[in-house]
Amino acid sequence: MFAYVLIVVTIAIAISALAERRNLQPALVVVMVGLAASYIPGIPRLELEPEFILSIVLPPMLFSAARDFSFAEFRRQMGPITSLGVFLVFATTFVVAGAALLALPELVPIAALILGVVVAPPDAVTATTIGRRAGLPTGLMSVLKGESLINDAAALTLFAVLIATATGTHAFIDSLPLYFLYAAIVGIVVGVLIGNLVQWTRRRLASPALSTALSVIVPFAAYLTAEELHASGVLAVVAAGFAVGHHGVQAGYKERMQEGAFWRTTDTLLETFVFAYIAVQLRFVITDADRAGFDIGELAITTLAVFLASVLMRFIWVFATAGVRQLTYRRHLERYRRSLDGTPISKPQRPLTWRENIVLGWTGMRGVVTLAAAAGVPAFLADGSPFPGDDAILAVAFLFTIATLLIQGLTLPGLIRLLKLEDPSQRDFVAEQRQLAEALVHEATTSALDSYSASHPGRESQRLIAATNRRLRHEGNLARPSERDASEALALGKVLLEARRIRLVAARDNLELDDTIVREMLEKLDIEQAFMDSMSEPG
């Protein structure tokens, strides 16, 4: 099995590379090639246990997405993220269940509800992969990514309750609201504790390799610990990712650079594997459903009904809540304008435009959680009788996932181009933030140079400081040391880099600078420090 998985991943990576060269979306190309390849005679079945997908494949994918996500942006978009990531999941579950019952009368209501919750959560990896390639605006990407990070927790919690109801067993807490509250709070606490503990440990390590190895353990430790406590492993992983990403600036630059490269590589491997797995499994899933007595025509009609119901529900929800947010925004904006002459209040976050809401309604590609949940439907009830419609649930879930990837994924770039999704205010905001970041960096550098000048009154030191000042004024970079003063110049350069780092992080924590801009600036500082260290190495 391992050899087969390795072959699938290798072929998927090769296909992704070719798609990149042709300026195509690699994920969708992998899916289409995988679908065709699955019908080659003699292709073996690649079947993984749902626990393997949920506890081995999902945690690193979620952790990497959360680690790179701006927590400040997550807080700013908390309203739409919660609305889509929690409440829309519940609404979609019931609407899809109704559509499935009408299209496939053989399903009993509890099986229809389970199908509804299985297909309810859009996927974090799919959304970010296709959305990033399609060129979605930053604000819209933030909402999509944030939604995808938390909706898995809502769906899997409701899934556990429905499975317990169907099989006659008991969930950890029978009350759904209390169970959801417990799972969310405990999961977040576990994730934050593990993330901060790991970050505290990493600051005391002197090895980038060990530091990166420790970060690899975090998503699995957070997920498994939370699950052992009957809490949300998904939220624990997301919280741990936020904690590690937010405090990552406290680690050494080598750790940050090595860890960033590692997680980008991991993302590529897992993403290509997930999309390939979805494709090559479909034929076998449909065959199982056919043997169980479900006609392919019935399954196709049911998938179409489920697809239309979920898309319609998402559009209705997106525009209904957008109307409410628009009214709230106008009231807050009016209070903000009046406050300019009195007690200041924060400027309200601009809601998404109608064009952005159209794209938000159309983006809803499903992925690994849908497949894992569908595969996790038990084959038998508590009394030993077969679970009603388990093969149909799995087949429709696979067909639905493929449909969202191909229909929505393929049309998304064209929709974005048609609607001309450009946000001038976002461009202005980014430009202003970068200008402010440069000003703060210059201020920190000047202050650090003044302090260094006061503590190093010697002639050689003053000459070096003057040369550094001249270079900063003309080129914006630190002075390249001559052989005569190389040692002191490198020491001064590191002092200035550290001053810049401290000022940028302080600005982020004080909400002066956006987290994304700070990370962008810190990456440049890391590269500059790596260059300095390479100059100080012998030979």
Retrieve residue 358's tokens: 């159209």
Question: Which of 103, 124, 130, 127 is closest to 115 using CA atoms?
Answer: 103
Retrieve residue 35's tokens: 């679908």
* pLDDT at site 116: 95
Give the Cα separation of 156 and 120 in Å (integer). 10
* pLDDT at site 539: 47
* pLDDT at site 483: 47
Give the Cα separation of 240 and 226 in Å (integer). 11
Backbone angles phi, psi at 380, to 5 degrees: -135, 150
Q: What's the pTM value of the predicted model, to 2 decimals?
A: 0.85
Helix (H) or strand (E) holding 37: helix 26-37
Q: Is the dihedral of CA 328, 363, 118, 77 positive or negative?
A: negative
Burial of 399 by CB count in 10 Å (0-12 exposed, 13-18 middle, 19+ buried)? Answer: buried
Give the Cα separation of 384 and 379 in Å (integer). 9
Contacts of 268 (CB under 8 A, 6+ apart): 13, 16
The identity of residue 345, as a single letter, is I
Give the Cα separation of 121 and 443 in Å (integer). 46
Give the Cα separation of 492 and 394 in Å (integer). 62
Retrieve residue 118's tokens: 């299985």
**CA end-to-end span of the chain, whole Å?**
48
**Are 235 and 150 in contact, with CB atoms under 8 Å apart?**
yes
Rg (CA), the chain: 26
Count the neighbouring beta carbons within 10 Å of the beta carbon of residue 290: 14
Give the Cα separation of 452 and 450 in Å (integer). 5
Burial of 313 by CB count in 10 Å (0-12 exposed, 13-18 middle, 19+ buried)? Answer: buried
Retrieve residue 12's tokens: 């998927």
Give the Cα separation of 111 and 167 in Å (integer). 11
The identity of residue 464, as a single letter, is L
Burial of 498 by CB count in 10 Å (0-12 exposed, 13-18 middle, 19+ buried)? Answer: middle
Helix (H) or strand (E) holding 373: helix 368-375
Per-block mean pLDDT, blocks of 10 residues, the chain (539 long): 76 85 80 86 80 88 86 82 93 96 90 94 70 71 86 89 80 80 93 92 81 90 94 93 81 78 86 85 87 88 96 96 85 68 61 88 86 84 78 92 89 84 68 86 85 80 76 58 61 82 82 78 82 65
Retrieve residue 27's tokens: 């994920």
The identity of residue 465, as a single letter, is I
What SS3 state is found at 201?
Answer: helix
- Which domains are present in the chain? 2-422 (1.20.1530.20), 427-536 (no CATH)
Taken as a whole, the chain contains a residue count of: 539
Give the Cα separation of 485 and 462 in Å (integer). 11
Contacts of 287 (CB under 8 A, 6+ apart): none
The C-alpha angle 187, 190, 195, rounded to 5 degrees, equals 125
DSSP-derived letter for residue 250 is G
DSSP-derived letter for residue 379 is S
What b-and-e string marks burial along 190-224, b requiring 16 or more CB atoms within 10 Å of the CB?
bbbbbbbebbeebeebeebeebbebbeebbbbbbb
Question: Which of 163, 154, 151, 153 is closest to 365 using CA atoms?
Answer: 151
Outline where 120-203 has alpha helix (H): 124-134, 138-167, 176-202
Retrieve residue 227's tokens: 């699950």
Give the Cα separation of 299 and 521 in Å (integer). 51
Q: Is the dihedral of CA 419, 424, 427, 433 positive or negative?
A: negative
Retrieve residue 134's tokens: 């399609």
Question: Which of 415, 401, 355 is closest to 122 using CA atoms?
Answer: 401
Question: Which of 372, 368, 374 is closest to 390 using CA atoms?
Answer: 374
CA distances (Å), origin 7, targets 11, 103, 217, 334? 6, 38, 26, 60
DSSP-derived letter for residue 56 is I
